Amino acid sequence: MTNKETMIYRIADRTDWQQAQHTGFFASADLAAEGFIHASELYQVLATANRYYAGRPDIVLLELDEAELWVAAVPVQREYAAARDDYFPHIMAPVPLAAVVRALPFCPDQEGRYALPPDLEDLA
């Protein structure tokens, strides 16, 4: 059982997640390009997935423990995104695998839309 108050979520390319298994840290192209890894609160996951990842079968949903990121001295900043009129967590460094609670399968339905994995439905 996870503490939903400390969890944040990253929709990740499966190849980035596989690379993390070898390096011990999750990183993505946005970290190099923008200086942070985009993440979401649980209530933001579906809108993010359906807006930016529609129809992609090659992703996983990483559940990250923000408290573990803090312990590892990985800053998380919530920054305002005008296009979404909301604040989103931005992870300012690679994510150590110790902060990844689980990697959940995240596949679109036949129309290319996402639903939360069953393990997260009760937390939403």
- On whether the pTM is more than 0.85, the answer is yes
In the beta sheet, which residues pair with residue 88? 79
Whole-number average pLDDT of the chain: 92
CB 80 within 8 A of CB 87: yes
Which whole number is the average pLDDT over 48-63?
A: 93
Strand partners, 87: 80
Confidence of residue 119 (pLDDT cuts 50, 70, 90): confident
Q: Cα separations (Å) of 72 from 28, 67, 90, 113?
A: 18, 9, 15, 34
Q: Which domains does the chain have, with CATH numbers?
A: 11-109 (3.20.170.20)
First to last CA, the chain: 14
